[in-house]
Amino acid sequence: MQKKQKRIHFVSLGCVKNRVDTEVMLGVAQDAGYALSPEPDDADVIVVNTCGFIGEAKRESIDTILELSELKESGACEKLIVAGCLSQRYPGEMASEMPEVDHFLGSSDMLKLGAVLRGEKERMLVGNPADWVIAANNPRVLSDNSASAYVKIAEGCNRTCSFCVIPQMRGKQRSRMADDVVREVESLVSQGVREINLISQDTISYGRDLAREGRTALSDLVKRVADTKGVHWVRLFYLYPENIDEALLDVIGNHPRVVPYVDMPLQHASDQMLKLMRRGHGQDRQRKVVTRLKEKVPNLVFRTAFIVGHPGETDAEFDALCDFVRWAEFDHVGVFRYSDEESCKSFALEDKVAAKVASSRYRKLMTAQRKIARAKNKARIGQELEVLVEGASEEHEFVMKGRHAGQAPEIDGQVFLSGDEVKPGEFVKVTISQASDYDLVGEVVGRTLAAPRRRIGLKVLSAREQWQ
């Protein structure tokens, strides 16, 4: 009798950097002979890749682990594995308080999964977070069938922001060599990927940690990726608000395959708050950076993020943030309520902001930004945009959806499509006819690039992901 193939299910929580790590573990599991199960109930092994960034994410991770641990009694699950940032941050506590978990891996232990699946490893396998960064020769299975993929160009962070625990969970910055990044991009393109999203914790610092002889400027790396045959869009995430050099501005503003999109979390706009947050600059520099980007990058789409409720934030300082947002007229804004993490420098600060006050400020800032976003979207009515078709809409039956160059995957809204029949992975010309606060509606009027012939990946992740 033929031996039944073991099945494995993955849940990826937290940011897209975590998702890339999960995709490496998917590749490790496939190499180990496991079949990927889209549902946890019939999986022999369940892996939860956790987030430990803020309180809400930690609670979600713990709740998910406990929920899935019940399948060791009621389902087919024989082994429950917990990986990622939460186990990296609290290895001892989790090991003692979660006896139902069979193995713990940290934020840099993705490749250890292979030995765990072969039954060769002990229970606690959380290592040094600085031990690993993804490489082109690591196994990786894309987690969905889109034509878009994320590529990590570095791991870790050297910044000392008061509110952030990333350096504790991910270690110091480790940049990849440019040749290795390009090799991974070539591999993704061979699988049908058309949009490359370059990510790291501190993208503007790419290469600074490398020896001079092996160092590549970020602008040169972006250009090499964009020049890779088969790449149609390149997008940059997580640029720190520094004075961006002219070479990078030129690539973002003028390269035909680099979208004019900047993701730059500014976190606040009050000088005093930026000082308490240990951001190393004040509002004046932020205004200069925003102005320069808008002047140098034609048709710039600017995404940023802010934190409200950080210790010491007064009504006046919050009002200064609102004024700054109205002045800048950002295209996309994410707002996060401060989470008082015990290992952050801000934890020791006085003048804590009450949770209900932080929530009120969150709503007020989002309301101000929604008006800006609505006006920007309405200004697109009548424009012809290139759109990457993603697939069927979950919200509207028989309607396809996609994104234009100013919309990043999952976080910036969608374009709902009418007219000609389209295929996922296809780039089409769309005339915008309607606009809401975040989404657009348009009619397909032509095609710029056919859909890839090869199917990409297999949807195996539970839909429990959030942007950070």
Do the two domains 7-131 and 384-449 of this chain adopt the same fold?
no
For the record, the structure tokens of 284 come out as 């004046």
Between helix 355-378 and helix 315-328 the angle, nearest 10°, is 10
Q: Where are the beta strands (DSSP E) in 123-268?
A: 124-125, 148-152, 154-155, 174-175, 195-199, 233-236, 258-263
User: Looking at residue 428, what DSSP letter applies?
Assistant: E
Name 121's Cβ contacts closer than 8 Å, sequence gap at least 6. 103, 112, 115
The hierarchical CATH code for the domain 148-378 is 3.80.30.20
Q: Tell me: domain 384-449, CATH 3.40.309.10, correct?
A: no
CA distance 433 to 380: 8
CA distance 167 to 202: 11
pLDDT in tens, the chain (468 residues): 557 889 999 999 988 999 999 999 999 999 999 999 988 999 999 999 999 888 888 899 999 999 999 998 887 899 999 999 999 999 999 999 999 999 999 999 999 999 999 998 899 999 999 989 999 999 999 988 789 999 999 999 999 899 998 888 898 999 999 999 999 999 999 999 999 999 999 999 999 988 887 789 999 999 999 999 999 999 999 999 987 899 999 999 999 999 999 999 999 999 999 999 999 889 999 999 999 999 999 999 999 999 999 999 999 999 999 999 999 999 999 999 999 988 889 999 999 999 999 999 999 999 999 999 999 999 999 999 999 999 888 877 678 899 999 999 989 999 999 888 888 899 999 999 999 999 999 999 998 888 876 544 444 554 443 333
The hierarchical CATH code for the domain 7-131 is 3.40.50.12160
β-strand partners of 308: 337
Q: For residue 349, which amino acid is it?
A: L
CA distance 418 to 359: 38
The gap from C-alpha 178 to its chain's centroid, in whole angstroms, comes to 20
Confidence at residue 2, expressed as pLDDT on a 0 to 100 scale: 59
The pTM score is 0.92
Reported as half-sphere exposure (CB side, CA atoms, 13 A), residue 122 has a value of 5
The gap from C-alpha 20 to its chain's centroid, in whole angstroms, comes to 9
Domain assignments of the chain as residue spans, ordered by start: 7-131, 148-378, 384-449
Confidence at residue 269, expressed as pLDDT on a 0 to 100 scale: 95
121-131 pLDDT per residue, tens:
899 999 999 98
